[in-house]
Amino acid sequence: MAERDASEPPGPAAAAELRNFLSELPAPAAVGHRIVHSGPHLTGHTLIDARVRALLTDVADLAPLHVAPALPVVDAGRELLPDVPHVACFDTVFHKDLPVQARTYAVPERWRAEYGLRRYGFHGLSYSWGLQRTAQALGRPVDDLQVVLVHLGGGCSACAVRNGHSVDTTMGLTPLEGLVMSRRSGSLDPGALLWLQRRHGLSPDELDDALHRHSGLLGLSGTSGDTRDLVRARAEGDAAAALALATFTLSCRRGIASMAASLDRLDALVFTGEIGEDQPEVREEICSALTVLGVQGGLLVPELEDLMRQGLRRIDQAEGGIPVLVVATGETQQIAAETRRVLGM
């Protein structure tokens, strides 16, 4: 019925912004909240009560860019709409049944048992939506598909889906692991972090800030974490932008190939997320160098407006290669679907 996008992360003004928005609308029947990390105690989308709210605070440091800013909105919503059910929809739930070998880190047993160190995986709401659309596009049931889904946006990850279930993904305990991202580093030799602390005296807070906010495409290019800016800069001869894009697309290919290792076959490669939707140069550079998986370049370039209207497009040339699809990101729609499901609506 209406939407309002804020340019800044939620903060103390969240309640006032939400109040103003709600004043323009009929009272909602329910509220769905995207919460990136569920932590170890919540394994499904769920109603938010006092217990769940306390558990969300407990896991906020595992996804500091996401959960901490979401909580003021949860609190404001519950305060402004106390008689309306509020549902937490988690990005981790899609990966809750990861095989034990895929979710386990090779670290001491105490770290795993006492500290709960394990891999969770993220972007699950996007993957849930993208998987359903892919099944529709290919005319096959979800439980008969083996696909690699790639969410490329501010955060980036890849996921292997076998017969409707996530069996591997590139993100881990936190949304910092895996592919190179807009401002996040992705995977890094843990020895490098120890060396930076010991040799150069960097504190945990300095490492946290650098790896979450000043690395990735921004750190490589020195100018921007936006692939659109970097494609333009590369065309103008910017060597740092060229390096950033080359490193990024190689990281994506590595991630896709590693996910394919958890499948028996590859029925489709699916792109979603802002970069996945709207950056044909990135898609082409990824796919044209993935011939080892049967993926081919020469991809079609749908108009973004058409993609948004139709929701998905098959973009490969359909000449014997692996199907390549683009799915318009549907996290908001998936939150609505999961909220209705939790409430039996």
Per-residue model confidence as pLDDT tens digits over 277-324: 999 999 999 999 999 999 999 999 999 999 999 999 999 997 789 999
Q: Quick one: average pLDDT of 326-342?
A: 97
DSSP count for the chain of H helices, then E strands = 15, 9
- What is the C-alpha to C-alpha distance for residues 281 and 261, in angstroms, rounded to an integer? 25
The reported pLDDT for the residue numbered 235 is 98
Per-residue model confidence as pLDDT tens digits over 202-259: 999 999 999 999 999 999 999 999 999 999 999 999 999 999 999 999 999 999 999 9
Per-residue model confidence as pLDDT tens digits over 74-133: 999 999 999 999 999 999 999 999 999 999 999 999 999 999 999 999 999 999 999 999
Say yes or no to pLDDT of 17 above 90.
no
Per-residue model confidence as pLDDT tens digits over 155-196: 999 999 999 999 999 999 999 999 999 999 999 999 999 999
Tell me if residue 91 is catalytic. Answer: yes
The reported pLDDT for the residue numbered 292 is 96
Kindly compute the dihedral angle of the four CA atoms of residues 147, 153, 156, 159, in this order, to the nearest 10 degrees: -20
- What is the C-alpha to C-alpha distance for residues 149 and 170, in angstroms, rounded to an integer? 11
Which of the following is catalytic: 75, 91, 144, 278? 91
- The three-class DSSP label of residue 268 is strand
The reported pLDDT for the residue numbered 3 is 82
pLDDT tier for residue 13 given thresholds of 50, 70 and 90: confident
The reported pLDDT for the residue numbered 211 is 98
Say yes or no to pLDDT of 10 above 90.
no
